């Protein structure tokens, strides 16, 4: 009897966790922005650093567009920018 109660409890726990996380795929992505390129590269050493403009939702790669020059913009990791819904400035 104890075995059956334990198994039923485990099934209920798994179901509760699955239901509580049903909206997990819709959670917002936080984009961490940095004042320096070096800070961003330290945060994501295996990713490309981009120059993000939060006002337009776009980012520039090094050597493209206004990379590193606009006051309201910051450096960030390309993967995080993509997951946050930002798009690359055309070359």
The residue extents of the domains of the chain are 2-88
pTM of the model: 0.67
Task: Give residue 59's Cα distance to chain centre.
Answer: 14
Residue 89's pLDDT band, with cuts at 50, 70 and 90, is confident
* 53 SS3 class: strand
CB–CB of 59/50 below 8 Å? yes
CB–CB of 87/58 below 8 Å? yes
Strand 49-53 versus strand 87-88 pairing type: unpaired
- Give me the pLDDT at residue 73, please: 92
Q: pLDDT digits over 30-88, tens only?
A: 899 999 999 999 999 999 999 999 889 999 999 987 888 888 899 999 999 999 999 99
- Give me the pLDDT at residue 6, please: 46
Q: pLDDT digits over 9-29, tens only?
A: 333 233 333 333 334 455 567
């Amino acid at each position: 009897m104890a075995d059956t109660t334990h198994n039923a409890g485990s099934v209920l726990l798994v179901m509760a966790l699955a239901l509580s996380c049903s909206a997990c795929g819709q959670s917002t992505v936080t984009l961490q922005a940095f004042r320096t390129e070096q800070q961003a590269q330290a945060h994501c050493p295996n990713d490309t650093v981009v120059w993000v403009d939060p006002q337009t939702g776009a980012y520039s790669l090094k050597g493209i567009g206004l990379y590193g020059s606009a006051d309201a913009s910051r450096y960030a990791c390309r993967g995080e920018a993509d997951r946050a819904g930002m798009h690359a400035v055309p070359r």
